[in-house]
Amino acid sequence: MPYARLSIKPLTTLLAACLLVLSFTAEVTRAEVPLAFPLKAKRVLFLGDSITHAGGYIAWIETQCRLQGVGPMPRFYNIGLSSETCSGQSEPAHPFPRPDVHERLDRALKRIKPDVVVACYGMNDGIYHPFSQKRFEIYQDGVNRLIKKVHATGAKLVLMTPPPFDAVPLKKRKGALRPAGSKQFAYFGIYEHYDRDVISRFAKWIMQQKDRVEMVVDLHTPITKHLAEKRKQNPQYTLSPDGVHPNPLGHRILGDTVLLAWGVPSVAKPNPKLLGLIQQKTAILHDAYLFAIGHKRPGVKKGLPVDAAEQKAAELLKQAEELIRK
């Protein structure tokens, strides 16, 4: 499914229209906006749960940066892991203990040696239950330990809020949403006000850490506003068919939000083939480095050996660069 065109800010609409025309005939010239530090780094490491594991927003960010002439391009390493938390918490009904990023964080930092780490946690950390102050404090402790470990290496840290949980697509599914007081909550039976009572609170706290880390990025608000606007015409509209995992357009909105924070307005409509090549490259490298670093989540496919993955990724990037030059 291709990514759809999305207008980000009214102030960039005219610029977007002009650069969109240029993108079909020549390399897009990036607007003269100062680049933020992540795009001046050599190595950027992405950490997160299944939303990051999917890699859609990361591939979108890289595609836009390459189309718009950002250079030299940082090397992006995505090792997001499905089911992961930063707090080590799991709902009792989960089929296996949720992986905890702290189990592999030291190995990842040692292997990648990033200049910048981008981390997005929270969706799984509330374990789909009603709000609990104790769970909230455990989540805060997990983020605090992440900050400490990343900064101890000399790397800079970008904390991103979790995107919202969307209850709307689950309302007609029996047992998918559960009221407070239910006997069991889990990813398959989620507290009905999980976003309002839990995820929104987590997101607000992440944004309050702006003086402790180099950057915070609010992913929750743009998605929430987009949903509210679209539901004026279609009350059933959603970006997350299961309430949790964004579809391709959702990933694009996440990527656009990061791009704006990093000084690269997303204004170019990529050739679908180009985007596909970057997505393939992102996925191949993700699987390889995820496996090489190691983790404890069962059921994740084994990646290629890193050397083989790097070779394949280089071939895909060469094809992508040829498309950009056309």
Q: Is the peptide bond before 164 cis (omega within 30 degrees of 0)?
A: no
Can you tell me the distance from the alpha carbon of 236 to that of 230, in angstroms, rounded to the nearest whole number? 9
pTM of the model: 0.90
Residue whose C-alpha is closest to residue 163's, from 38, 251, 47: 251
With a CB cutoff of 8 Å and minimum separation 6, the contacts of 276 are none
Average pLDDT of span 58-79:
96
End-to-end alpha carbon distance in the chain: 24
Q: Which residue has the higher pLDDT, 326 or 310?
A: 310
**What is the residue type of 1?**
M
Q: Over the chain, what is the mean pLDDT?
A: 91
pLDDT at 153: 98
The first and second tokens of residue 117, run together, are 């780490």
Can you tell me the distance from the alpha carbon of 69 to that of 71, in angstroms, rounded to the nearest whole number? 6
pLDDT digits (tens, 9 = 90+) for 288-314: 999 999 999 999 999 999 999 999 999
For residue 323, how many other CB atoms are within 10 A of its CB? Answer: 16
Phi and psi at residue 157, in whole multiples of 5°?
Answer: -125, 130
Can you tell me the distance from the alpha carbon of 218 to that of 273, in angstroms, rounded to the nearest whole number? 30
pLDDT digits (tens, 9 = 90+) for 177-203: 999 999 999 999 999 999 999 999 999
Domains present along the chain, CATH in parentheses: 10-325 (3.40.50.1110)
User: Computed over its alpha carbons, how large is the radius of gyration of the chain?
Assistant: 19
Among 23-32, 103-112, 311-320, where is mean pLDDT lowest? 23-32
Can you tell me the distance from the alpha carbon of 88 to that of 100, in angstroms, rounded to the nearest whole number? 5
Can you tell me the distance from the alpha carbon of 13 to that of 31, in angstroms, rounded to the nearest whole number? 13
pLDDT at 164: 98
In this model, does residue 17 exceed pLDDT 60?
no
Q: In the chain, what percentage of residues exceed pLDDT 90?
A: 87
Average pLDDT of span 260-286:
93
pLDDT digits (tens, 9 = 90+) for 103-157: 999 999 999 999 999 999 999 999 999 999 999 999 999 999 999 999 999 999 9
pLDDT at 32: 57
Residue with tokens 């390459």: 66
- DSSP string covering 202-214: HHHHHHTTTTTSS
